[in-house]
Structure 1
Amino acid sequence: MAYVITDTCISCGACAAVCPTESISEGAEHYEINPDTCIDCGACEAECPTGSIHPGE
């Protein structure tokens, strides 16, 4: 299951910078993760300063 970014995202871009598959892009309200290309590595979760990223359900 791909990681997800919640509404507490501040759109800093730190997660996108560390994503090895470039699955994270800026969305309308905050950054979003493409579930089709996310490999569940967790790099983005560790980098997020607001704790807005977690494994999806």
Structure 2
Amino acid sequence: MDLMTVKEACQELKISRRTLYRMIAEGVVPAPRKIHNFRKVYFIRKDIAKKVGQGLR
């Protein structure tokens, strides 16, 4: 499973962090996942790539 951070997802989608969180709330982008008990959340790269391929904007 290839993971990416919020920062990497923003760079991949060419959007700001605020826009990314808004898109998560609207259901446009799949929600990130917490791995173990750490504070960071991660996106699955395959899910983000699928959204980019569908034409996110």
Which structure has greater helix proportion?
A: 2
TM-score (norm 1): 0.29
TM-score (norm 2): 0.29
User: Higher relative contact order by CA 8 Å / sep ≥ 6: 1 or 2?
Assistant: 1
- Which one has the largest radius of gyration? 2
